[in-house]
Structure 1
Amino acid sequence: MSRSKCIVLAVALLIGQTAVLSGLSLAAGTETNVVEQWFKDSGLGWLKGLHFKADFRLRYQGEWWEYTDSDDREQDNDRHRGRIRVRFGFTKRYKDDGLTVGFRLASGSSDDPTSTNQTLEGNFSKKPVWIDLAYVEYSPPVLPGVTLAGGKVKNPFVHTDIIWDSDVNMDGLYQSFELENGAFRPFITLGEMFLDENKMDTDHDSGVLAGQVGMKLKVALFSVNLAATYYDFDEFERNYRGSHGNAVGDDGVLAAGDFDVFDVVAQLGTKVADIPIKVVVDYAVNTAEDARGESEFEGKDTAMAAHLKVGKCKKKHDWEVNYKYAYIEANAVPGDFCDSDFGHANRKGHKLSVGYQPFKKASLHLTGFWTQPNNLLKGQESHDHYTIQADLKVKF
């Protein structure tokens, strides 16, 4: 018998065995046990607990700048781009041991933690993918609510994008504990993150130490999530990737001097006529800001935001509307990591988006940003920045 016929026969037997076992288990009312036993007997038991997840986004992005030049003349620039995003990964859970391993690849740039976008350019050149997540989590079965994790991990903190862009995944360790106590669930999260090794003639590595305390509460139709976090960005002022709106001194060091950010987030969720509604407010202050002699930026240490979301694109014919107002001063938060679509730090303005899901696994979204600089040096030109994003998102 030829090799191709053997393969066809093996596949047919595998499908037939699965169908017979499933039929027998359904008739006996023990589908789960029979299928699990079949996986063990067939040598495919390692697939149990393995979960794949992927998504693709196609985007048109248009940007417009309006400003007044040094001769007091009105000027404008524009930019139009086609962009894609693809992410593919898996998690493998070992339930009895309390272990979970996660891995994900994503498009984007290796030196930009705030974006997984790939611009369509380069004369049809191939597009790269990068390791976006690679971590292990341990939740001891004897200690419910405890999680220890390390690697390139998802952001474990309750946050908004005035500090952390949604694409930022952290490098390091975290420990969390949530008291599973019905409607009231207090929690604490600690993080020790790596930013960079020795650079720019400093003897110290750059990193982030963070501690968060908070609570989740459900009362009738309302859910509340409150969290207070302290982030200590050690040596970041000398090891930043780009200023991204942060003020920079003549010596190349960020003018803030240091970033020790205290952040408070409050989230309120409910449903009206079965439509989900979510309100989020965030207030952050850099408690270590000293402006280092840059008087124009002295005291520019505060960031705040308010979000409103109505509806949610989850299944066919769902819709959603999102609005955000944000105000981020020049020395408030590290510009490297906050919302890149909004313009990073030292911006204020609005974001409005609408979404509709015409298909089971695909949705359409239209988003607009209108932002402008928050703090300006003497003689620096102000400009309004307008961005339009039209997205097709597909999950598979």
Structure 2
Amino acid sequence: MKKFLPLFAFLLVSGWSTAHAVDWNWKGDVRYRYESKIKTDADNSRDRHRLRVRLGVYPWITEELSAGVQLSTAGSGDPVSRNQTLGDGFTAKDINLNEAFIDYHPMFLDGDVDFILGKRAVKSTLIRVNDLVWDSDLTLEGVTAQFGKNGSKQASGVNAVAGYYFIDELSKSEEDPFFWAAQLAYTGQAGDLGFMLGAGYYDYVNIVDMPDSVLGDWSDGEGFWGNSHNGVYDYDYNILELFANVGGKFDGGLPWKVYGQYAMNVADGVDDDDKGYLVGVKIGNAKKVGQWALDANYSYLEKDAVIGAYTDSDRWGGGTDGQGFEVAGSYHLVQNMTLGLKYLGHEIGIDSDKSLHVLQADMVVKF
């Protein structure tokens, strides 16, 4: 934590001294979670109390230039969790750099195209409907070009994203693992209904025939997160994703949305266990005090449909090879604070007799 204090002190001083030139946007949130997990083959449940903290600044520097820096709890050392489990004798908890990026949107392109360099949240980097392919806590590192996308939202009309992302740098090899991404979508309106539909393609390079450590030091010895392997990755991963959502409002003004994703690994040699899908519905919106929201979805993900390390970390314990449903509700209790409750019931392994049941109770404060 100490090593980041000078950085934040500098940002504060810079913000005060150049307030006339820079629009500083501070954002943060603290989430307290109680989580209970039980497997069918376990004698008792695992109960944990966990924290997630994020604090960032996102300055709008000029009409052509913005940036972002965010610190967060370190989680368990993997890329898809920022939760810090309480315990370990009251020791201090780690804080790490979660985002650091530059966003250049030149006016000779009318500011419609963003060139982003650095580390940024996946929902602000790529077009993301839900977590079948990408966990919500993932922050990608690389270079991105965007058209018709503003943060986590898409503008009306055509939306396009292209990016190149570095997975790891290998000092003893020239075959560094990386992937490139291309997405094309359309966001529009049909009468009272709003919709978005699109497709994405994610091509991983230098993954096949590599050990689990190819994804970074954090993954060394952690296994392959459901993907097929024989001590090394059996297959290449070239993932085609189709995604869509449609929504509107009931007569009383209550919003609703139906959403879906389909993913398939189209790499050569992958003939089986290469597909996955997620379908869900959301009713309500808990943005203001007194408002509520309900969300339910069903997911099915075969072993080699996606890279298991980067999909949602809560379903069937994380990774691929599972199916099941989740139901969540949230309520905006007081200004800036929401309460949430989620239940996840999934099979660990498709057509398996093993299952995992998870209950999560959250309190989230945003500032």
Q: TM-score, normalised to structure 1's length? A: 0.79
Amino acid at match of 1:348: Q
Name the counterpart of 2:108.
142
Name the counterpart of 1:172.
142
CA deviation map 1:228-269 (0-9, x unaligned): 1110011234214341111221xx1123x1000000100112
Name the counterpart of 1:78.
45
CA deviation map 1:1-34 (0-9, x unaligned): xxxxxxxxxxxxxxxxxxxxxxxxxxxxxxxxxx
User: Could you say what secondary structure the match of 1:205 adopts?
Assistant: coil
> CA 1:47/1:90 → structure 2, altered by over 3 Å: closer, same or farther?
farther
Aligned partners of 1:312 and 1:179: how far apart in 2?
Answer: 22
Which 4+ stretches in 1 moved above 3 angstroms?
none
Aligned identity (percent) is 29
**Preserved CA contact (<8 Å) 1:289 1:331:** no
Name the counterpart of 1:245.
226
Which residue among 257, 260, 263 is the counterpart of 1:278? 257
CA deviation map 1:21-77 (0-9, x unaligned): xxxxxxxxxxxxxxxxxxxxx95535741000010001100000003xxxxxxx544
Aligned partners of 1:86 and 1:308: how far apart in 2?
Answer: 28
**Preserved CA contact (<8 Å) 1:179 1:186:** no
User: Could you say what secondary structure the match of 1:142 adopts?
Assistant: helix
Superposed, 1:54-133 pairs within 5 Å as: 54-67=28-41, 76-96=43-63, 98-109=64-75, 111-133=77-99
Q: TM-score, normalised to structure 2's length? A: 0.85
How far apart are 1:206 and its partner, in Å?
Answer: 0.4
Aligned length: 331
Name the counterpart of 1:196.
168
Aligned partners of 1:43 and 1:335: how far apart in 2?
Answer: 46
Amino acid at match of 1:277: W
> CA 1:204/1:371 → structure 2, altered by over 3 Å: closer, same or farther?
same
Amino acid at match of 1:88: L
If you compute each CA radius of gyration, which structure gives the higher value, 1 or 2? 1
Aligned partners of 1:47 and 1:81: how far apart in 2?
Answer: 45
Name the counterpart of 2:333.
358
Name the counterpart of 2:204.
233
Aligned partners of 2:49 and 2:76: how far apart in 1?
Answer: 19
RMSD of aligned C-alpha atoms?
2.1
**Greater Cα offset, 314-323 or 273-282:** 273-282
CA deviation map 1:249-304 (0-9, x unaligned): 1xx1123x10000001001121112111111110010001635xxxxxx5000010
Amino acid at match of 1:91: Y
Amino acid at match of 1:316: V
Aligned partners of 1:349 and 1:121: how far apart in 2?
Answer: 31
Name the counterpart of 1:157.
126
> CA 1:375/1:43 → structure 2, altered by over 3 Å: closer, same or farther?
closer
**Preserved CA contact (<8 Å) 1:289 1:299:** no
5+ residue gaps in structure 1?
1-41, 68-74, 292-297
> CA 1:179/1:308 → structure 2, altered by over 3 Å: closer, same or farther?
closer
Aligned partners of 1:58 and 1:219: how far apart in 2?
Answer: 40
Which residue among 233, 249, 266 is the counterpart of 1:254? 233
Aligned partners of 1:95 and 1:128: how far apart in 2?
Answer: 33
**Preserved CA contact (<8 Å) 2:161 2:182:** yes
How far apart are 1:375 and its partner, in Å?
Answer: 4.1
How far apart are 1:395 and its partner, in Å?
Answer: 0.7
Amino acid at match of 1:57: R
CA deviation map 1:124-173 (0-9, x unaligned): 00001111100000111221311100100222222221110000110000
> CA 1:179/1:235 → structure 2, altered by over 3 Å: closer, same or farther?
closer
User: Could you say what secondary structure the match of 2:194 adopts?
Assistant: strand
Name the counterpart of 2:192.
221
Aligned partners of 1:106 and 1:179: how far apart in 2?
Answer: 24
5+ residue gaps in structure 2?
1-15
